Structure 1
């Protein structure tokens, strides 16, 4: 095997074993809460607040049963507090999809555990907070106290989007 082939194979091996680019992590202050899974965070190093969709959860629409309570819970917990943001990617609506922590607490896990959101399901994936959802369902917390509670996508299919 030629020297250039060996070098090319070594380079390919190194590149293929390199870890994926780590998600950006930054600190900021929650400046506004739109609903139970969307908020605005002003970066700690300055700049305009960024609209963030909390990764892994799906909270009721504001015009849906338990929607105002879900927003109020997130406001009470996070508004004007510093959070750690792990940026993941933009969603289909252009919002930054991110994981957020208030101190050591995962905000998404808290919203689900307290019954203010579902673990976000995608196709056959039950979502990252299935355990927290099971705990909230068993305790009949928040929206899980209502046997008729419906996921936001089902609500939108029946009633359309909330008017702002």
Structure 2
């Protein structure tokens, strides 16, 4: 009896797994980790690539990441190994095209990060490290900003009080937050502090003492 139960369990597990496989044609590529799939019944599904996070379109390598994914999957019939549906209603899964894992390939090409917050395949970290060592794609930049850090900076600005957005330099805040990334790009200590505290640009405070860009703000100030 236990053997029969075990066999039935594996059959059931296989059936569930098979049911989570979606096939369709890619009719849209939105960025380096999101596509639109046309499936049976002329329905469209927005697919978010699982376990990876590509640069935002207005970040460095954002457009190149989108182009990389488009070259792999656009107008091709692919399979999606569905994992879940996210809070935005997107199907989250792995894209398989011509037998290739497109999610992994994006990381391999240096066109996306392994998304540690949602990672369950730890081998993607090794793929990312290989891309980093090879200075592939976004890793050709000295200190590329992870997209989740970039988005956090944008959200912080959006949550600033209305009065803060109408301060003496509102245009500069809206235009520059999330675009400048390094101390050498800062024009003043005040700007560096703004990026550290309001934009979440933690790399400006390399030693973690709360003072960004030591050359601008001075030691111990």
With normalisation by structure 1, the TM-score equals: 0.80
Residues 123-164 of structure 1: per-residue CA shift (max 9 Å, x gap): 896855112111110100011111221111100112338xxx
Q: Which residue among 1, 18, 21 is the counterpart of 2:9?
A: 18
Q: Specify the alignment match of 1:38 in structure 2.
A: 34
CA-based RMSD: 2.4
How many matched pairs?
A: 149
**By how many angstroms is 1:122 displaced?**
1.6
Q: Which has the higher contact order (CA 8 A, sep 6+)?
A: 1
Higher helix share: 2
Q: Specify the alignment match of 1:100 in structure 2.
A: 95
Going from structure 1 to structure 2, the CA distance change for 1:38 and 1:128 (only over 3 Å counts) comes to farther
Correspondences of 1:1-164 after superposition (within 5 Å): 14=5, 18-19=9-10, 20=13, 21-22=16-17, 24-43=20-39, 45-122=40-117, 127-160=122-155
TM superposition outliers: structure 1 runs of 4+ over 4 Å:
123-128
Structure 1 residues without counterparts, runs of 5 or longer: 1-9
Going from structure 1 to structure 2, the CA distance change for 1:89 and 1:117 (only over 3 Å counts) comes to same
CA contact (8 A) 1:120 1:126 kept: no
Residues 82-103 of structure 1: per-residue CA shift (max 9 Å, x gap): 1111111101222100111111
Going from structure 1 to structure 2, the CA distance change for 1:147 and 1:53 (only over 3 Å counts) comes to same
CA contact (8 A) 1:56 1:128 kept: no
Structure 2 residues without counterparts, runs of 5 or longer: 159-221
Q: Secondary structure at the match of 2:36?
A: strand
With normalisation by structure 2, the TM-score equals: 0.61
Higher strand share: 1
Which of 1 and 2 has greater Rg?
2
